[in-house]
Amino acid sequence: MSTHLVSTATADHILALQFLVGWAGEGHCEPSRLGWWRTDAVDEMGGGDFFRRLAPRTHAWASLEAARRAAMLADRKARSLMADPDGVRTLFFWGFDLDEQLIERIRDLKMDEKDLEDGGVQRLAPTAALPFPEGLHPGGEFDRQRLEAAFRALSPGAGFQALSTGRQVKGACPEDPAQAARMLAACLAPLGTEYIPPFFRL
């Protein structure tokens, strides 16, 4: 899989899925979603309100970054139980180069603006800047069955072998990281009561 200087579109595709899973996995919100991590970073009446006061101009991005970080920590913990954890790729672990590029892309997205008719500028919201699956986005209505169906639809042919440490995706890791991300997200289904990481073994 090539991870050196991927296109902006590829980075955005991966980030959209990371943010969506990060949001969906939250468990301290009301009502609870998947409950994979003990956070409430996005909802307007919960952590989202905190980030709105902390970072008024970029609060939507800050909330999603916090949810993404919680997902990354859960992913890291799960990978630590695998043999050669650096030799796998998950939706939240792509190797140093691509992981750093994703961080840089988030920084750029937080600064993106659009011109308004009155001459002012407006920061782009994540829902406007990223290619979330149709009808699904962080902060929207949570529907477990709909989310699971959307994940499966990302790569209908993707399959996995269930192991004690995760779900090993069948086949070699695609050269295109966006395609790999779609397959990894698809293999999150069926959605369980805890985070079970789909992964490619390199």
Each residue's pLDDT tens digit, 60-108: 999 999 999 999 999 999 999 999 999 999 999 999 999 999 999 999 9
Q: Reply yes or no on whether the pLDDT at 120 is more than 70.
A: no
Q: Reply yes or no on whether the pLDDT at 59 is more than 60.
A: yes
Which pLDDT belongs to residue 47? 74
Residue 141 contacts by C-beta under 8 Å, 6 or more apart in sequence? none
Q: How confident is the model at residue 115 (pLDDT cuts 50, 70, 90)?
A: low
- Please tell me which residue, 52 or 138, carries the higher pLDDT value: 138
Q: What is the mean pLDDT of residues 9-26?
A: 98
Among the listed residues 18, 70, 15, the one whose alpha carbon sits nearest the alpha carbon of residue 41: 70
Structure tokens at 16: 């959209």
Mean pLDDT of the chain: 92
- Please tell me which residue, 148 or 51, carries the higher pLDDT value: 148
Cα dihedral: 183, 186, 191, 192 (round 10): -20
Residue 198 contacts by C-beta under 8 Å, 6 or more apart in sequence? 90, 91, 160, 166, 167, 168, 169, 183, 184, 185, 186, 187, 188
Q: Reply yes or no on whether the pLDDT at 114 is more than 90.
A: no
Q: CB of 181 within 8 A of CB of 19?
A: no
Q: What is the mean pLDDT of residues 119-123?
A: 68
Cα dihedral: 101, 8, 158, 147 (round 10): 100
CA angle 33, 93, 10 (to 5 degrees): 90
Residue ranges of domains in the chain: 8-201
Q: How confident is the model at residue 52 (pLDDT cuts 50, 70, 90)?
A: confident
Q: Reply yes or no on whether the pLDDT at 32 is more than 70.
A: yes
Among 73-82, 118-127, 139-148, the minimum mean pLDDT is found in 118-127
Q: Which residues pair with 166 in a beta bridge?
A: 163
> How many angstroms separate the CA atoms of 18 and 5, rounded?
19
Beta strand 166-169 pairing with 160-163:
antiparallel
**What is residue 161's three-state secondary structure?**
strand
